[in-house]
Amino acid sequence: MESRAKSVVLGVTGSIAAYKAADIASRLTKLEREVQVVMTREAREFITPLTLQVLSKRPVVSDLFDEKEGWQPGHIELADRADLLLIAPATAQIVAELAHGFASHALAAIALATRAPILLAPAMNGKMWLHPATLENVEVLKRRGVKFIGPEEGLLACGYEGVGRLWPVDGIVEAAEGMLAEKDEG
């Protein structure tokens, strides 16, 4: 009996770094991962669903109310099927939503429903990353077992120099692969 490909739900949120999700989706697909992209409304302002659909070879989910197939809500099916939920880039908004259990859009609902490991790759202005509310939300999520990669320091899209850049794509893909391997061992 053949085993199915590992399933990665790739969440993309509204950050200028959203364009790097295309490279992440492409690399994971080349590693023979089943990549299902889920975009927030804000992410669609930075990158088109079509780009991510072509690279992942799957339709992109962006709305809870687009679900038309089958009887089971699609976000629950994706949450159940996921071997890993990777959100890259992860904005301060999604970090807060996850920390507080909000599920007002497809990505947040999937995150709340999944029992798969979660990896967040933050990308935001350094002042936002270092704000006490964000730091508290990160600590809440870490206590729940959510893993973080980054952010790194450097020149930010807003023109500031500091922490907040999305971790390099190679490192994100490597961390995702490591978490999938850990899940196999566990």
Give residue 170's pLDDT: 97
Question: Each residue of 26-51: pLDDT tens digit?
Answer: 999 999 999 999 999 999 999 999 99
The ranges assigned to domains in the chain are: 7-185
Q: What are phi and psi of 36, to 5 degrees?
A: -115, 110
- Helix, strand or coil for residue 114? coil
Q: Which residue from 128, 109, 108 is spatially nearest to 15, judged by alpha carbons?
A: 128
Residues 149-163 have pLDDT tens digits of 999 988 777 777 878
Whole-model pTM: value is: 0.93
State yes or no: pLDDT of 98 exceeds 60. Answer: yes
The band of 69, judged by pLDDT with boundaries at 50, 70 and 90, is low
Runs of H (alpha helix) within 102-157: 106-113, 126-129, 132-143
Catalytic pick among 158, 170, 178, 182 = 158
Residue 173 pLDDT greater than 90, yes or no: yes
Report how far residue 127's alpha carbon sits from residue 110's, in angstroms, rounded to the nearest whole number. 28
Q: What beta strand segments (E) does 6-50 contain? A: 7-12, 34-39
pLDDT at residue number 1? 43
pLDDT surpassing 70 at residue 19: yes
- Does 84 have pLDDT greater than 70? yes
Angle between helical axes of 132-143 and 92-100 (0-180°, round to 10): 50
Verify whether residue 158 is a known catalytic residue: yes
Q: Which CATH number fits domain 7-185: 3.40.50.1950, 3.40.50.11060, 3.60.15.10, 3.40.640.10?
A: 3.40.50.1950
Calpha distance 108→104 (Å, rounded): 7
- Taking 90 as the threshold, does the pLDDT of residue 76 lie above it? no
Q: What angle do CA 55, 105, 65 make, to 5 degrees?
A: 85
Of the pLDDT bands very low, low, confident and very high (cuts 50, 70, 90), residue 71 is very low
Top-confidence residue, 182 or 138 = 138
Burial label for 81, CB within 10 Å (0-12, 13-18, 19+), is middle
